[in-house]
Amino acid sequence: MENILYLVIPCYNEEEVLPETASRLGEKVNSLIRQSKIDERSRIIFINDGSKDHTWEIIRALHEKDRMFGGINLSRNRGHQNALLAGLMTVREYADAVISMDADLQDDINAIDEMIDKYLSGTDIVYGVRSSRKRDTLFKKATAEGFYKIMNAMGANTVFNHADYRLMSRRALEGLAEYGEVNLFLRGIVPMIGYSADIVYYERGERFAGESKYPLGKMLSLAVEGVTSLSTKPLRLITGLGFLIFIVSIGMLIYSLVRHFTGATIVGWTTLMVSIWAIGGLILLSLGVVGEYIGKIYLETKARPRFIVEEFLNEKE
Ligand code: UDP
Ligand code: MG
């Protein structure tokens, strides 16, 4: 098996961490090369996501000094997910396996060894999963774990406590490339590709310098983006709600009629009560039906691959 490994690392205003990150990752890759687990042509590629500081200059200098380091400069800030995708799609023709990770080394780089071992034994996708969040603040832990739970409940199936620290083989990346959608949520799409997958656990550390580029606001928008770009479940929930209210309206109809005939109402109450519930339920139900079609249109416009063939056994004549 060929084993050129590329690391892709999106960077947004990371001048404080880059030199250290580069030297630690360089060491790691060199040690893997020495153990002949990966090819000498393995590389570490930083993606500059329109940083406003000296991130790109640092990347350029790293590249001048050591050809193991490379860089991709995006024309402007496009956000973590897009920067990551740009990296994956650009390097996929040169690499046999690609590992994506953050620039701040919060993801333990020692998990790379295990990822490589799993890759070498034939696994196509290896997810890095946080075993604990001891070092995250209570707030970050609660919001981040809530994030995964809500996402899953809303139909965006992601790997629990897995961020974008993962290894993908070249054919998995080619599968990913088939997904032409603009609203792309990598953590949701990658499990859809298929192929053999495995998990590696690691301790999530602290950012060793600089501050988080993912404040609560960005995390919320990632969650909304994740759900709305992956699934049409929220639309289906409307249908469900409409149905529920319609059932309630039938109950209300019976209740109002009973009250009416026992004379316990004033004129007009019964008709008002019944129409409010019935019409409310019907409106929601119809919205849900319209929503179902919109959901279909939405999924059609994404033009996702309908299948990816893993193997084809066929004897030609
Ligand atoms: N990042 C990026 N573009 C952005 C925001 C963040 O490329 O617009 C990168 C950032 O440089 C880092 C990674 O995404 O490598 C994760 O960001 P961060 O560590 O700030 O998030 P946190 O770990 O706090 O969730
Ligand atoms: Mg971080």
CATH code for the part of the protein at 5-230+307-313: 3.90.550.10
Q: What is the pLDDT of residue 84?
A: 94
- Overall average pLDDT of the 300-307 stretch: 86
Q: How many CB atoms lie within 10 A of CB 146?
A: 12
Tokens 């310098």 -> residue: 209
Best mutation site among 80, 81, 85 for ligand 1 pocket (most ligand atoms within 8 Å of CB): 80
User: Who's near 57: CB < 8 A, 6+ residues apart?
Assistant: none
What are the strands, taking DSSP E only, across 170-213? 197-203
Ligand 1: centre distance to CA 212 (Å)? 7
Evaluate: CB of 121 within 6 angstroms of ligand 1.
no
193 vs 211, which has greater pLDDT?
A: 193
Strand partners, 130: 202
Evaluate: CB of 104 within 6 angstroms of ligand 1.
yes
Mean pLDDT lowest for which of 9-13, 33-37, 145-149, 194-198? 145-149
| Alpha-carbon distances of 178 from 78, 84, 276, rounded to whole Å | 21, 16, 48
Annotate 269-303 with three-state secondary structure: HHHHHHHHHHHHHHHHHHHHHHHHHHHHHHHHHHC
Q: Say if CB 169 and CB 124 are below 8 A apart.
A: yes
**CA gap 218, 204 in Å, rounded:** 20
Q: What percent of the chain has pLDDT over 70?
A: 98
Q: What is the pLDDT of residues 55-100, one digit of tens each?
A: 999 999 999 999 999 999 999 998 899 999 999 999 999 999 999 9
Q: What is the pLDDT of residue 17?
A: 92
Please tell me the residue having the least CA distance from ligand 1 atom 13.
Answer: 102
Q: How confident is the model at residue 121 (pLDDT cuts 50, 70, 90)?
A: very high
Ligand 2: centre distance to CA 229 (Å)? 23
Q: What is the pLDDT of residues 275-298, one digit of tens each?
A: 888 888 889 889 888 988 998 898
Q: How confident is the model at residue 207 (pLDDT cuts 50, 70, 90)?
A: confident
Strand partners, 45: 8, 70
Could you say which DSSP state residue 107 is in? Answer: B
Evaluate: CB of 212 within 6 angstroms of ligand 1.
yes
Ligand 1 closest atom vs CA 12: 11
Mean pLDDT over the full length of the chain:
88
- In this predicted structure, the answer to whether residue 256 has a pLDDT above a threshold of 70 is yes
**What residue ranges do the domains of the chain occupy?**
5-230+307-313, 233-302
219 vs 119, which has greater pLDDT?
A: 119
Q: What is the pTM of this model?
A: 0.80
226 vs 200, which has greater pLDDT?
A: 200
Q: What is the pLDDT of residue 184?
A: 79
Q: What is the pLDDT of residues 138-192, one digit of tens each?
A: 887 787 788 788 878 887 778 888 889 999 999 999 999 998 887 778 888 899 8
User: Who's near 42: CB < 8 A, 6+ residues apart?
Assistant: 4, 5, 6, 29, 32, 33, 68
What are the strands, taking DSSP E only, across 181-235? 197-203
Tokens of 176: 């990913």
User: Who's near 151: CB < 8 A, 6+ residues apart?
Assistant: 158, 188, 223, 226, 227
Could you say which DSSP state residue 163 is in? Answer: E
